Amino acid sequence: MAGQSIPVATPSLSFENLTAGVFQDNLEQYLSENIGFREPMTRFYNQYLWDFFRKTYSDEVAIGKDDWLFFNFNVDEYYGKEMYRWIESNDKAVDRFEKQIRMLKKLIGVLKTFDIDFLIYTTPDKANLYPQFLPERDFDTTTIHAYDYYRQALVENGIPYIDMDSWFINMQDTLDYPAIPQTSAHWIFPAVYAADSLFSYMATMKGIEMPRIVIGERLECSELTKGNIRDLEKLLNLQRDITINEDIYYEREVSIRSDSNAVKPNAVFIGNSYFFAINQYIDLNEVFSDVRYWFYNMTEYYGQRLQKNRPISETDRLYAIVNADYIAWFTDKAQMYKISYGFAEDALLRLCVSDSLWEAEVEKVMVAENVNKTQAEDILRNDIERIEGLGGDCVPAIRNTRGIVLAQTAYRINQDENWLNALKIKAFTDNESLESLVKREAINVVDGHPLLRDDMAVNDSILTEYRVQEVVENWRNNTEMIDIITKQLEETGLTFEEQLLMDARWFVDNEKNNEK
Amino acid sequence: MILLFSIVFYGFGAPDFILWLLGSTIANFFLVKLMYKTEKKPLKKLYCGLAISVSLGLLVYYKYANFLIDNLNALISVFGANPIKMAKVLLPIGISFFTFQSITYVIDTYRGNNAPMDKLSDYIVYIMMFPQLIAGPIVRYCDIEGEIRHREYSSSECLQGLFRFVIGLSKKVLVADVIGAQVDQLLATPLASMDTGTAWITIAAYTMQLYFDFAGYSDMAIGLGRIMGFHFPENFDNPYNSASITEFWRRWHITLGAFMRNYLYIPLGGNRCSKRRMYFNLWVVFLLSGLWHGASWNFVVWGAWHGMWLVLERMGLKKFYERIGKAPSVIITFIIAMVGWAIFRIEDMGDAFTFISRLFAFDFSTFSIKADGQFYTMLIIALLFSFVGLFPFGKKLQDTIYYKDYSVAGTIVAWVLALFMLFFCIAAINAVGFSPFIYFRF
């Protein structure tokens, strides 16, 4: 079933738990989650609610007219009711927005010193695009819309901003089908047109030529697109699909054309789930040299087709920021109040605050507020002006020089094929991660220590093995490859791991032959 | 088995209180035995008083201690004194019901209506049997005396019991909870600006919610009892078909009404006294009925509201009802009951009066209710089922559903229907979650 479900552990019985009522509560939860036939019963009842009353108990989904589905928060934002979920008053909201704009301006100023361009991109909002299908609710005209505020403030403050919401409203009649389908929360193929505009704009910002998107022949929708067309519907957990005309939807061939003078920059995108649609249709590694996507600034998606992911806390964010050419923040109208999902604060701290200064400030807050380290760090991140040198409108001093230089050095190492190969051999033989070796090597460069690469003789067979392991890891995150490999197992009789390794070796050998 | 399961059932839900419940039950058992054995009237009275005090004492402490302290503090703060500090006392679930049930046993034995039980286990089964332990019906010992010792089981009784249980569960889950969710939302809006139409729909909905919730529970208790071979008394008999508040209290929470009549109203003199005294007795009974429902002034006011109408009916209002005919009387009685439920539901008296004023404000300028089709459908179904008993075909339908012995074909249909409704209710509980019965808080 779709939706959030927190697995419930088997309740443990003890005298204390029983007398305190804890065991009973846990048992009720456990039985409720694990009752037999839970899924068919839930779907049966949900179908009854849908068929007879067009009603759902899903908190997230709002049922509009003609069976159009919306996220509740999109509808609330349209009607002016969303604001009070995240702040008490208009004054407090404006106060927060002004602070965010100041912070963004500071950040943009700092990033400019590294020749990094920052831009904000609002994706289309379904409630705005299709208000005729919204459920009837009362407007609250007293609340403030973050979107309305930022739209004006960003332009007034010279912060690069692309408003795709307005663009889609204006051009939706030219589309053969809704950009955001009736039963979906996200855009589908029209995301490619939006991406084309985005990349063109990015190229213009630096005055460069970037690889261009070429849209070709019409294609039937892929299984992934068909699933996305109904992604909001899935949250209703119905027995049967809602009747919609699926035939109107189609995709097109997408390829990337690189002219001889086209450059592939590095980019970090931060934002909401709308970015996944762009990644679905476009191989971003053909447009960007290094591309990362920080989903709500909580999870990093990276690698080939952004198939790998890890918590943002495990990412070297300073490395990613300093070596990016572009940083783009994706959001939509309803979530604009979240601004950069904490990215701006975090980036400013990483660029402008050395580790020692940060530790000292955290210590001060821990003592003054009587909180633990994590709480103190949260307080500081949310009150950026406490950090020395960031007060007022002046450009903050870049203090984390060592961190920045290390990140830039690491990048240089990554770009040097021979250097990287030497470290790959060491990573393979010592069973260490390449990333940690690159970091160590960067420290060696900066501090003048002997370099790791000088210890390593280039060994083709080890490099090949390293590459094979890389391919194996990539394919483990690739559902298409897993399907292909699984299908082969019946013929070959091998285990999955054996087949995976064999195919990876074949792939790497092919790669090497093609290079020759 | 029933004894063991009942103890586990209550102990599981209220582990802090099971020992108190068992302790007071055991104490009562032996006190009643002593009372019955003794020949001396003063000693008999003493044991009777002790037994009742044990039960009532626990009820007063657990249910009314907080209320008493809060009101005392409100009073003494007027004189600038320091408030009395006392840790909040938690209310054991079902205490009002099993207290009254044990009192019926004590008094009936005192009166010589029955001999006390020989076995302690039988007595504990009588007090604590799980189907009716939490929210009634309040069962007099004489009603199930024989069944405690010996019960007949049959497949038709089992089917009838299952059917009744499922009807009760359906009333609760499919009707009461659906209506109740909307009622909660409506009553959370600013009451002072509520339009009259919305106010009436709100209170009609709550009226239905309360009835289907409580009647649903009673059906479940009666059904489970029947499966186990017990025949508990009926607790509801189409209360909203009443043509007077007097009649209403013969149809709503019948066992409570019987208790109040047999153990409070009649001992106070009933109606075999002067009119003034009778009116006084009625008032006292209903003030205490109100207080029994909850330790809060709104319940007392609710009791007074009903007491007032009972007195007025005896003063001549009943004759007026007879003159105007049944239909208008039923409507008037329904409106009186609904207004009473407003006081019952809205604990803050200021808010309650504000809401009632909106009922009669005749403000139809807006209609602010935004409810879904399921709410309206269930409300209409609830209203239809509530009033269908007024008509001969409706009464016949109810008798068929509730009381009739089925043919073979009828048995098969009943089983299929019962199992389907049971599945439907479990599906609803699973999908939506479960909300506790309203009368559990009493």
pLDDT tens-digit readout, B377-399: 999 999 999 999 898 888 888 88
Cβ-defined contact of A45 to B15 (cutoff 8 Å): no
Question: Where are the alpha helices (H) located in A416-495, listed in sequence order?
Answer: 417-430, 434-447, 460-476, 479-492
Residues of B in contact with A136 (CB under 8 A): 370
Strands lying side by side in the sheet with A308-311: A161-163, A117-122, A326-331, A266-271, A290-295, A299-302, A308-311
A32 touches chain B (CB under 8 A): yes
User: Vertex A203, ends A198 and A205: CA angle to 5°?
Assistant: 95
The CA distances from residue B22 to B28, B110, B341, in Å, are 10, 22, 34
Which of B16, B373, B430 is facing A32, going by the closest CB pair? B430
Q: What pLDDT shows up at residue A17?
A: 79
Q: Which of A152-161, A206-215, B124-133, B319-328 has the lowest mean pLDDT?
A: B124-133
In angstroms, rounded to a whole number, what is the distance separating the alpha carbons of residues A140 and A82? Answer: 10
Which of A24, A44, A137 is facing B427, going by the closest CB pair? A44
Through-space distance between the first and last CA atoms of chain B, rounded to whole angstroms? 27
Q: What pLDDT shows up at residue B322?
A: 93
Which of B15, B374, B431 is facing A46, going by the closest CB pair? B431
Residues 6+ positions from A91 with CB-CB distance below 8 Å: none
Q: What pLDDT shows up at residue A11?
A: 81
Give B385's Cβ-side CA count (13 Å radius).
Answer: 21
Cβ-defined contact of A41 to B374 (cutoff 8 Å): no
Residues 6+ positions from A15 with CB-CB distance below 8 Å: none
The tens digit of pLDDT for each residue in B205-251 reads: 999 999 999 999 999 999 999 998 889 999 999 999 999 999 999 99
Verify cis geometry, omega within 30 degrees of 0, for the bond prior to B137: yes
Token readout for B163 is 């059917």
Cβ-defined contact of A45 to B377 (cutoff 8 Å): no
In angstroms, rounded to a whole number, what is the distance separating the alpha carbons of residues A180 and B74? Answer: 60
A46 touches chain B (CB under 8 A): yes
Residues of A in contact with B13 (CB under 8 A): 24
| Residues 154 through 183 of chain A touching chain B, CB cutoff 8 Å | none
Q: Which residue of A has its CA nearest to B427?
A: A41
Q: What pLDDT shows up at residue A391?
A: 45
DSSP one-letter string for B244-296:
SHHHHHHHSSHHHHHHHIIIIIHHHTTTSS-HHHHHHHHHHHHHHHHHHH-SS
Q: What helix, strand, coil percent values describe chain A, rounded to 5? A: 55, 10, 30
The CA distances from residue B397 to A234, B212, B330, B394, B404, in Å, are 42, 18, 20, 5, 10
Token readout for A96 is 């927060």
Task: Give the E-state strand segments of A2-112 in sequence order.
Answer: 61-63, 69-71
- Confidence check: pLDDT of B84 > 60: yes
- Residue whose C-alpha is closest to residue B358's, from B374, B339, B376: B339
Per annotation, catalytic residue among B150, B231, B253, B293? B293
Under 8 Å between Cβ of B271 and B283: no
Cβ-defined contact of A45 to B431 (cutoff 8 Å): yes
Q: How many residues does chain B have?
A: 442
Distance from CA of B435 to the nearest CA of A (A): 13
DSSP state of A209: B
Q: What helix, strand, coil percent values describe chain B, rounded to 5? A: 75, 0, 25
Give the largest Cα separation in chain A, rounded: 76
CB-neighbour burial class of residue A461 (10 A; exposed 0-12, middle 13-18, buried 19+): exposed
Handedness of CA B271, B273, B279, B283 (dihedral sign): negative
**Which residue out of B90, B378, B430, B432 would a mutagenesis test of the A interface target, given it has the greatest number of A Cβ atoms within 10 Å?**
B430
In angstroms, rounded to a whole number, what is the distance separating the alpha carbons of residues B338 and B330? Answer: 12
Under 8 Å between Cβ of B442 and B92: no
Q: What pLDDT shows up at residue A392?
A: 43
Q: What pLDDT shows up at residue A267?
A: 96
Cβ-defined contact of B430 to A42 (cutoff 8 Å): yes
Residue B79: strand, helix, or coil: coil
For the question of residue B293 being annotated catalytic, the response is yes
Average the pLDDT over B270-290 and give the result: 89
Which of B16, B374, B426 is facing A49, going by the closest CB pair? B374
- Average per-residue pLDDT for chain B: 88
**Which residue out of A41, A46, A136 would a mutagenesis test of the B interface target, given it has the greatest number of B Cβ atoms within 10 Å?**
A41
Residues of chain A with pLDDT below 70 are 2-7, 384-399, 458, 516
Residues of A in contact with B432 (CB under 8 A): 45, 57
Cβ-defined contact of B373 to A42 (cutoff 8 Å): no
Q: What pLDDT shows up at residue A240?
A: 94
Q: What distance lies between CA B14 and its chain's CA centroid? A: 20
A53 touches chain B (CB under 8 A): yes
In angstroms, rounded to a whole number, what is the distance separating the alpha carbons of residues A222 and A156? Answer: 42
- Confidence check: pLDDT of B168 > 90: yes
Average the pLDDT over B19-39 and give the result: 88
In angstroms, rounded to a whole number, what is the distance separating the alpha carbons of residues B419 and B415? Answer: 6
**Which residue out of A1, A15, A27, A44 would a mutagenesis test of the B interface target, given it has the greatest number of B Cβ atoms within 10 Å?**
A44
Which of A19, A38, A55 is facing B430, going by the closest CB pair? A38
Beta bridge partners of A254: A215
Matching residue, tokens 């009587």: A370
In angstroms, rounded to a whole number, what is the distance separating the alpha carbons of residues A262 and A254? Answer: 18
Residue A119: strand, helix, or coil: strand
Distance from CA of A95 to the nearest CA of B (A): 29
Helix or strand run (H / E) with residue B35: helix B18-37
pLDDT tier at B191, thresholds 50, 70, 90: very high
Distance from CA of A57 to the nearest CA of B (A): 7
Under 8 Å between Cβ of B130 and B246: no
Q: What pLDDT shows up at residue A378?
A: 82
pLDDT tier at B184, thresholds 50, 70, 90: very high
- Residue whose C-alpha is closest to residue A328's, from A309, A341, A313: A341
- Confidence check: pLDDT of B439 > 70: no
In angstroms, rounded to a whole number, what is the distance separating the alpha carbons of residues B271 and A263? Answer: 101
In angstroms, rounded to a whole number, what is the distance separating the alpha carbons of residues A348 and A351? Answer: 5
Residues of A in contact with B12 (CB under 8 A): 24
Matching residue, tokens 């592939």: A264
CB-neighbour burial class of residue A109 (10 A; exposed 0-12, middle 13-18, buried 19+): middle
**Which residue out of A18, A22, A23, A45 would a mutagenesis test of the B interface target, given it has the greatest number of B Cβ atoms within 10 Å?**
A45
Cβ-defined contact of B373 to A53 (cutoff 8 Å): yes
Q: What pLDDT shows up at residue A2?
A: 65
In angstroms, rounded to a whole number, what is the distance separating the alpha carbons of residues A287 and A257? Answer: 9
Distance from CA of A49 to the nearest CA of B (A): 8
Cβ-defined contact of A53 to B15 (cutoff 8 Å): no
Residues of A in contact with B377 (CB under 8 A): 52-53
Cβ-defined contact of B427 to A41 (cutoff 8 Å): yes
Distance from CA of B233 to the nearest CA of A (A): 31
The CA distances from residue B399 to B101, B209, B234, in Å, are 28, 23, 13
Distance from CA of A186 to the nearest CA of B (A): 26
Highest mean pLDDT: which range of A250-264, B10-24, B143-157: A250-264
In angstroms, rounded to a whole number, what is the distance separating the alpha carbons of residues B138 and B55? Answer: 15
Give the count of beta carbons closer than 10 Å to the beta carbon of residue B77.
11
Cβ-defined contact of A53 to B432 (cutoff 8 Å): no
Which of A52, A57, A137 is facing B431, going by the closest CB pair? A57
